[in-house]
Structure 1
Amino acid sequence: MERHYGLDWLRIGAFGLLIFYHVGMVFVPWDFHVKTAHPLDWVAIPMHATNSWRLMLLFVVSGYASRALLAKSESPGSFIGSRNKRLLIPLLFGMTIVVPIQPWVELTTQHGYDGGFGWFWLHDYFRFGSFHNLILPTWQHMWFVGYLWFYTVALAAAVWLMRGRSLQGLFDGMFGTVAIVLAPIAWLLFADMYLLPGGRETHDVLNDAIAHAHYLPGFLFGFALARSGPAMAAIARWWKAAGVIAVLSYAIVAAIELRWPGSGMPQPYGYIFATARVIQGWCAIVALIGIAEHYWNRDHPWRRTLTEAVFPFYIIHQTVIVTVEWALRPYGLPPLAEFAILVTTTVAGCWAFYLVGREVGWLRPLIGLRGFIVPRRAARSVVLTPVESMS
């Protein structure tokens, strides 16, 4: 498989937006691990610009990358082995070392917990049960990595059971048409309105039907898209129209949110909001893939570094946000100053985490990097395989 540089840039951009999104969670009146003293209702408007598609896009891109990694592997078993190293090791490291300060901050700021972090980590974090309505230990934002691992295992099992048979022709025939836009929207509306009405994501892998109804099909869609010329051709035909529809749908979402902030909107506006959000989300994904295919499918000297850096950034970014906001709370800063400090320190903290971690051989696998260091003098002569560093 040829490397698709456009999807590399799309993945980099999606993870970059994630930093701003989680900084925004500090200010928006939605549940989060730590909140500013000055929440702002209007912040929900820009948050909704990406809320409906940011995670689905990551699962679609991850499915696409998994097709390339599977093609490189000798067997489904070796594919699973490589995924275990690149996903489970960082997940366990994150849950044990990186994540614990987040529930501690939530407990101290929202539940009256008065123990220090050291006491919490040694005595309360590894309870393997409920503590002040939190399940500990927890994976917090690392749930994405856990779900990606489960979907990868399910994919490898399906490939093994198929014994060389393929559904690629069926996918090509269906999604090589305008169904590339319409069919996923129909499925998502069916899941949200009829199959699992009122369903909310829990990030509990055994009790999160609505998330699996969204993200597992998205992951499989990306897997099939990686070898589908007809589907990519359909995206090339329809991405501009999809982009226009995504913008118009977002305008509806924003207008309803502005008129009835939060979840108190009357019917039928609640149904209109939910429908517009689904349409916005999938049309945005089609448009972004089309843009990536048409404009971004080219290499750049920064691409290799940024592609490698996004996973370490993902692992550490929310911990930096929560910790810095916890430290800022007593000062009662204006929201704009608070936002600027959070963005600056988060980006700096992510870069420091990556730049230090990539130079330490034993630390590299813990933060999602391949377990070796390329000698600087030999770096220019290294030729990457088409699927290098994709996850």
Structure 2
Amino acid sequence: MKLERRHDIDWLRVIAIGLLLIYHIAIIFQPWAMFIGFIRGPELMEGLWTPMTALNVWRIPLLFYVSGMGVYFALRKRNWKQLLGERSRRILLPFAFGFIAITPLHIYIFQAYYNMPLSYFPHAGHLWFLGNIFVYVLLLSPLFFYLRKNEAGKFKKALSNFMQNPFGPLSISVFFMAEVVLLKPTLFEMYAETWHGFFIGLLAFFFGFLFVYSGKDLWNTLLRWRWLYLGLAIALYGLRFFVFDLKIPGWVMAIESNCWIFGLFGFSYKYLNRPSALLSYLSQAAYPVYILHMFVLYAGGYLILPLDIPVFLKFAGIVAFTGIVCYLLYEFLICRIGFLRPFFGLKVKCIQPGKEKELKEAVGKSL
């Protein structure tokens, strides 16, 4: 059976990783950067954090949703052994490689920036996300395969019918609200290596799978009511920012998070669900860039922060440095040295814009 390629989901993954780079660079210019292991510039740009406070409640949950969707497409073409083998190659191997060879690099730069003794410190760092994803695959794949075998059953029909109502997607926020109430995270947006991050990721991963499993009725609902979800997200953020000074209860932030995500799903389904050579290239590059970006942005900060230039130029310079160096490392090192590709989650030849034959082959082999 020929599977429909969801280009909007590919775009959301690319966009989310692009925003992740901007978010992490913005942290460098906040007064508390060093307390969470980031280098900090001598001048601050605290105003940068205002848009980041809108972003940080949904950026990571969005990636978990999209990852769950990817598993749905993957298991449509694989049995459980093939799925676990493929996910081990694409997730576990890059995670292990990054743990010992990539994340220690930005710790070296941190130590050098603060004139600390250099020491080798292997750790998960920003790759905690990959560790979570692999655990979710192990935990949920039996259920996912059961659902796949019963796609013509009553559950899918009931789910599809329920999701035709605009409050159908919103209703799953009850589970996210319960997670916050039960775990009581100190900060809703503190996902990395916390139980809150693990369970909110597990929920988003599971419902991401169900969203594509349920069929087009849900996506038509997200499309039809996208302005409602976006409006609710903006209203809840306004309430959080202007009334509660960003200290609103976490269960409200859980609703806001899903409203942002559902709005994005609706708009991307309308405007981004079409193929392009650029998307094929960026979709493949996004994963290696995610793995590399912390080391590169720390290097950019190390070089640019001491310069005697205005602080906004430092921010722009680190953004440009990170983007350009990540591109160069991907295009001229990872992409062209065959044995390196598996360590960055790649399993097909790298795609360059305009190479139509390679694009077709890559799309056919991708998830």
Please indicate the TM-score interval, normalised by the length of the shorter structure.
0.7 to 0.9
Q: Report the Cα distance in structure 1 between the residues aligned to 2:191 and 2:267, rounded to whole angstroms.
A: 32
CA deviations on 1:324-365 (whole Å, 9 max, x unpaired) are 212334335431121011011100111011102111111111
Q: Is the counterpart of residue 46 in structure 1 residue 32 in structure 2? A: no
1:163–1:373 CA distance, 2 compared to 1 (3 A): closer
> Structure 2: which 5+ runs fail to align?
none
Mapping of residues 70-81 of structure 1, within 5 Å? 70-73=75-78, 75-81=79-85
Amino acid at match of 1:53: W
User: CA offsets per residue over residues 189-245 of structure 1, 9 Å max, x none?
Assistant: 2222x21123454633xxx32112211111111111112223222212321100111
Which of 72, 90, 94 is 1:90 aligned to? 94
Pairs within 5 Å for 1:1-391: 1-30=3-32, 31-73=36-78, 75-108=79-112, 113-115=116-118, 120-121=119-120, 125=121, 137-159=122-144, 164-165=149-150, 167-192=155-180, 194-200=181-187, 201=190, 203-204=192-193, 208-228=194-214, 229-255=216-242, 260=245, 270-271=247-248, 274=250, 276-331=252-307, 333-356=309-332, 357-370=334-347, 372=349, 380=357, 383-384=360-361, 388-390=365-367
Secondary structure of the structure 1 residue equivalent to 2:360: coil
Check the 8 A contact 1:99/1:319 in 2, yes or no.
yes
Distance 1:214 1:316 in 2: 25
C-alpha contact 1:3 1:387 (8 A) present in aligned 2 = no
Asked if the contact 2:126/2:192 (under 8 Å) is kept, the reply is no
CA contact (8 A) 2:226 2:267 kept: yes
Distance 2:97 2:243 in 1: 41
- The alpha carbon displacement at 1:16 in A equals 1.2
State the alpha-carbon separation in 2 of the partners of residues 245 and 19 from structure 1.
Answer: 26
Contact 2:176 2:251 in 1 (8 A): no
**What are the Cα deviations for residues 287-335 of structure 1, in whole angstroms up to 9, with x where unaligned?**
1110111111111221111111100111111111112212334335431
In the alignment of these two chains, the number of paired residues is 355
- In angstroms, what is the RMSD of aligned CA positions? 2.8
Using the size of structure 2 for normalisation, the TM-score is 0.87
**Partner SS, residue 100 of structure 1:** helix
Cα distance in 2 for residues equivalent to 1:84 and 1:72:
16
Alpha-carbon displacement from aligned partner over 1:98-139 (angstroms, at most 9, x marks no partner): 2102223444556x7323xxxx23xxx2xxxxxxxxxxx211
SS of equivalent to 1:154 = helix
Query: Structure 1 segments of 4 or more deviating over 6 A?
Result: 373-378
Compared CA separation, residues 34 and 303, structure 1 to 2 (3 A): same
Contact kept? 2:109, 2:299, Cα under 8 Å: yes
Q: Is the 8 A contact 2:304 2:317 kept in 1?
A: no
What letter corresponds to residue 65 of structure 2 in structure 1? Answer: V
In the alignment, the residues of structure 1 paired with residue 351 and residue 293 of structure 2 have an alpha-carbon distance, to the nearest angstrom, of 25
The code of the aligned residue for 1:292 comes to S
Higher relative contact order (CA 8 A, sep 6+): 1
The one-character-per-residue Cα deviations of 1:136-166 (angstroms, maximum 9, x if unpaired) are x211111111111111122223345779356
Aligned residue identity for 2:347: R
Q: Deviations over 1:42-99 (max 9, x none)?
A: 22201112111111111111111111111111x1111010111111121122122221
CA shift digits 1:23-56 (9 cap, x unpaired): 1111123434211112233222011121111111
Q: Distance in 2 between matches of 1:202 and 1:293?
A: 27
C-alpha distance in structure 2 between counterparts of 1:202 and 1:5, whole Å: 27
Q: Tell me the distance in 2 between the aligned counterparts of 1:28 and 1:39.
A: 6
Letter in 2 for 1:360: I
Post-superposition shift, 1:172?
Answer: 2.6
Answer whether contact 1:68 1:387 (CA < 8 A) is retained.
no
Secondary structure class of the residue paired with 1:49: helix
What is the rounded CA distance, in whole Å, between the counterparts of 2:221 and 2:110 in structure 1?
46
Output the amino acid matched with 2:141.
A
| Residue aligned with 2:184, SS | coil
